[in-house]
Amino acid sequence: MAVDYFLHDKIWFEKFKYDDAERRFYEQMNGPMGGPSHQQENGASTILRDIARARENIQKSLAGSASTTSSGAAGDQNELLSRISHLEVENQNLRSVVADLQTAIFKLESRLNALEKSSTSHQPSSVPPTQKVEPFSVPSKKVELPAKKSEPAAAEEDEDDDIDLFGSDDEEEDQEAAKVREERLRQYAEKKAKKPGLIAKSSILLDVKPWDDETDMAKMEECVRSIHMDGLVWGASKLVPVGYGIKKLQIQCVVEDEKVGTDILEEEITKFEDYVQSVDIAAFNKI
């Protein structure tokens, strides 16, 4: 770093030290006490030699750094030139590839144009007026006879066409197929009628409330369970405290919606007036 600094900025910051040394040396040489002291002369001469040696070393170091920097710059310049030449070669290769692609595209376009022209030239010619062409039509089973056939043969052919040899069999087969189809439909309808439908059921949780705390809850539950209906099944039950020592009967049942309604069930339970005060539906869920 110091060498580069001296190369670019030629400033000697510590020159005042050497100037002071030279000034003291000349003062000692020219002063009144400079004659008798031989040791002082030797010291001054050594200082001058050191100064000269230091200057030489500095100059050598500066020269060496300049040579190294010049060699480094030359190396960088050579590398840059080599890279530029390499890029030029690559550029030439890319240009050749692009030229090949352009020629290939041009050839393809020419071939396509030739194929289009050939397809237009090979289109089917127009149909002669004497020939009848029916596109997308089902071919007829009848075969036209040549015009040179005699009239008696043509009359025999007409008579054969009038005779339907297989008409009766086709009608019989159609009737049998219709009978089989009707029989299968009838069997399917009977099977579907016999199949049981989906029965809609509901799960109901009832709150049966007594009159007071002296009501016999066991007897009240027995009365409720004594109700029997088609589509009614009683489930679990429990006593739930209401307050002031009064408990209500909470009982669950499953009913068929078409056979048992909630209104009929409440009416049947409230018939036991000695035990039941009221009936409420606590929960109602479809099954």
pLDDT of residue 184: 87
As given in the structure block, the two tokens for residue 27 are 């003062």
At 134, list the tokens. Answer: 């029916």
pLDDT, one tens digit per residue, over 32-66 is 444 445 455 566 677 878 888 888 888 888 777 66
Residue-wise DSSP of 86-116: HHHHHHHHHHHHHHHHHHHHHHHHHHHHHHH
Return the ∠ at Cα 246 (arms to 245 and 248), rounded to 5°: 145
**pTM (2 decimals)?**
0.34
pLDDT value at residue 174: 81
Distances (CA, A) of 13 to 20, 184, 220: 14, 123, 122
51-57 own/partner pairs: CB under 8 Å, 24+ apart: 51/18, 51/21, 51/22
In whole angstroms, give the CA distance from residue 262 to residue 208.
Answer: 13
What are the boundaries of each domain within the chain?
A: 201-286
The pair of structure tokens assigned to 241 is 């405290």
The pLDDT > 70 percentage for the chain reads 67
Which one of 3.30.70.60, 2.30.30.100, 3.40.190.10, 1.10.10.10 gives the CATH number of domain 201-286?
3.30.70.60
